[in-house]
Chains A and B, each alone.
Chain A
Amino acid sequence: MVKSAIAKTLKEALQLLNKDEYKILAGGTDLLIQNRNHTSLPIAFKGNVLYISHIEELNYVKADKDNVHIGATTTLEQILENDKTPKLLKETIIEMASPAIRHTATLAGNIGNASPAGDSLVTLYLLDTMLKIQSLNKERMIRLQDFILGVRRIALEKNEMITEIIIPKHNFTKAYFKKVGPRLSDAISKLSFAGAVEIKDNIIKDIRITFGAVFMIVVRSQENEAKMIGRSVNAVKAEIDEIISDYEPLIKPINDQRSNIEYRKTVARNLLRDFIEQL
């Protein structure tokens, strides 16, 4: 018999998680659809559900010298409206879902859902995001790229929950997020791209490139990025074809109802070319 629990404090939630296995639900905009039932019937959750949206102590956006800290129950719209939120993340969030969904959906939920097409993930990987994971008696930090193991698989124990998202501050010269989808809102990406660069005296001090929905997880290659760091913008632009072929083997999309392999590979290549050409 599935049960549901409503936690009002973090301590309550962690105590409950320590006793039983629960699906953690904040906004529920993914989970309600994934467990959809016939009209008028309760949501068909396959196991216990822990409702955490009422945990006020996890609703915050704070900034210190080096990082921005976002609590797990902060909604996408709250993050979007907060002036401490990094610009690139704001530009990503506004392309996500719709105002209605953003009013209840959470960033932590988008991470926990670990969809290969997850929009926030493309930007969060680029920003070297960390997560704070808590259980009743333990607290640990993990890199986002280590937390997401595959399609909808995350490195979370039964008694744990994400409590905070930590995003290092950056000073990019130029950064953007591009989403390719059939509609201006409420669209699951066919593919997505984020690029950021820091240029000083015509030298690339830092460059980051990520792709979404072209593999099981976000594609990022710090090896390929390292090849461009420390070099002049013109030198890198001259090697554009080589850079694109360095990324080709990493871009391995599938055919699905939203798009096909050929389209995704072609557009990914074009987005990368565009980014490098306009450095």
Chain B
Amino acid sequence: MAKIDFILNGEKISLDTNPSRRLLDVLRDDFDLTGPKEGCGEGECGACAVLMNHEIVNSCSVPLANCIGKEITTIEGFMKTKRYEVIKESFAEEGAVQCGFCTPGMVIASESLLNKNPHPSDEEIKIGLSGNLCRCTGYNMIVKAVKKAAKDGDGLW
């Protein structure tokens, strides 16, 4: 057991638990945040992606110990922002969501990318989203959606 203090979706959290638990399990089991999903549990699909200090990480591959002092944002937290509204509109308009399973991860990846690079090229978008798998869309609609979000949300990032 160890004391793990971190910020989760803007709130200060203090846990006394096993530091060798996966962040994904802590989010889903302790906090009912089911946005991040276990698509593969191996760090290859991005369905579990969250933001750690505003950068995308795979929560299935992050031990709770490494979260001390960090700011963790799940899709549930990000949904409350203006940036999310722009991304949501773009994804809807471009048909970038079918079953929706990959979508929280894709949105997190988009935010992680745009936060550092507000006007990415198509190539840069593909690299930014390269760790996120989608079985439905064929990806091109998602890439277009990110391009559109960058344009429509000019000034937000």
Contact = CB atoms under 8 A, between A and B. Distances in A.
A101 B19 contact: no
A266 to B, nearest CB: 27
Interface string B16-31: 0011111001001100
A104 B62 contact: yes
B131 A184 contact: no
Interface stretch (B51-59, B71-79, B82-90, B143-151): B51-59
A43 interface: yes
Contacts of B60: 32
A101 B127 contact: no
Interface stretch (A33-41, A60-68, A142-150, A207-215): A33-41
Contacts of B113: 99
B2 interface: yes
Contacts of B68: 6, 54
A42 B22 CA distance: 7
B109 interface: yes
A77 B117 CA distance: 14
Contact of A28 (B46, B49, B66, B131): B66
Contacts of B2: 4, 6
B69 A54 contact: yes
Given A4-B20, A98-B46, A98-B131, A25 B52 contact: no
A103 interface: yes
A99 B109 contact: yes
B131 A100 contact: yes
A184 B41 CA distance: 20
A54 B6 CA distance: 13
A99 B130 contact: yes
Contacts of B57: 100, 103-104
Contact of A184 (B18, B46, B130, B132): B130
A97 B19 CA distance: 25
A1 to B, nearest CB: 12
Nearest to A25: B63
B61 interface: yes
Contacts of A185: 127, 130-131
Interface string B88-131: 00000000000000000000010011000000000000111011
B85 to A, nearest CB: 23
Given A43-B22, A51-B66, A186-B43, A104 B61 contact: yes
A28 B126 contact: no
A51 B61 contact: no
A244 interface: no
A98 B44 CA distance: 8
Interface in A3-33: 4, 6, 25, 27-29, 32-33
Contact of B41 (A39, A45, A51, A101): A39
Q: Give the one of A29, A53, A97, A100 with max B CB within 10 A.
A: A100
Given A28-B66, A32-B63, A184-B126, A101 B43 contact: yes
A42 B130 contact: no
Contact of A51 (B19, B21, B55, B109): B19
A94 interface: yes
B107 to A, nearest CB: 13
Given A43-B20, A94-B127, A104-B62, 19 more contacts: A4-B2, A4-B20, A6-B2, A6-B65, A27-B61, A29-B61, A32-B63, A39-B38, A39-B41, A43-B21, A49-B20, A99-B109, A100-B49, A100-B109, A103-B55, A104-B61, A184-B126, A185-B130, A185-B131
Interface of A: 4, 6, 25, 27-29, 32-33, 36, 39-43, 45, 49, 51, 53-54, 77, 94, 97-101, 103-104, 184-186
Which 8 A-B residue pairings sit nearest by Cβ, starting from the closest? Answer: A98-B131, A185-B130, A51-B65, A100-B131, A103-B55, A186-B44, A100-B58, A100-B56
